[in-house]
Chains A and B, each alone.
Chain A
Amino acid sequence: MTLALCAVVGDRALAQSHDMMMHHGVPSRVAVDERVGPYVASVWIERDVGDGAVYVMLDAADGIAFTPPSAVRIALAPTSGRLPEVFHEAHAEPVRAERGGRYMTKVTFDRPERWNLRVIVEGSAGGGQLVSEVESTSNAALGPLGLFLASSPFVLVAFVYWRAWLARRRGMLALNPAPHLTRPQLD
Chain B
Amino acid sequence: MITESPATVPASVAPVRQSFSERLNGAWHQRGLQIFMAIVLAHWAEHLAQALQVYALHWPTKDAGGVLGLWFPWLVTSESLHYGYALVMLVGLWVLRGGFVGRARTWWMIAFYIQFWHHIEHGLLQAQVIVGRNLFGSPVPISIAQLIIPRLELHLIYNTIVFVPMIIAVYRHLLPDDAERSAMRCTCAVPSGATVS
- On whether the two chains bind one another, the answer is yes
Q: Which residues from chain A sit less than 8 Å from chain B, CB to CB?
A: 9-10, 12-29, 32, 42, 44, 48, 50, 53, 55, 57, 96-98, 102, 104, 137, 139-144, 146-147, 149-154, 156-157, 160, 163-164, 166-172, 174-175
B195 contacts A171, CB within 8 Å?
A: yes
A-B contact pairs, 20 of them (CB 8 A): A14-B79, A20-B140, A21-B122, A21-B141, A22-B121, A23-B155, A25-B151, A26-B140, A140-B54, A149-B157, A149-B160, A150-B44, A150-B156, A153-B41, A154-B44, A160-B170, A160-B174, A167-B190, A167-B194, A168-B190
Q: Which of A22, A98, A160, A164 has the most CB of B within 10 A?
A: A22
Q: Which bucket holds chain B's interface residue count?
A: 35 or more
Where chain A touches its partner, the secondary structure class is helix
Q: How far is the CA of A42 from the CA of B73 in the complex (A)?
A: 34
Is the C-beta of B167 less than 8 angstroms from some C-beta in chain A?
yes
Taking CB atoms and an 8 Å cut-off, the chain B residues in 116-169 that contact chain A are 121-122, 125-133, 136-143, 145-146, 150-158, 160, 163-164, 167
Is the C-beta of B19 less than 8 angstroms from some C-beta in chain A?
no
A167-B195 contact in complex given A18-B77, A104-B139, A153-B44, C-beta closer than 8 Å: yes
Name the distance in Å between B143's Cβ and chain A's nearest Cβ: 6
Name the distance in Å between A50's Cβ and chain B's nearest Cβ: 7
Q: How far is the CA of A57 from the CA of B139 in the complex (A)?
A: 8
Contacts of A157 in B (CB 8 A): 37, 41, 167
Q: Which of A98, A140, A144, A174 has the most CB of B within 10 A?
A: A140
A153 contacts B140, CB within 8 Å?
A: no
A22 contacts B175, CB within 8 Å?
A: no
Name the distance in Å between B185's Cβ and chain A's nearest Cβ: 19
Contacts of B55 in A (CB 8 A): 140, 142-144, 146-147
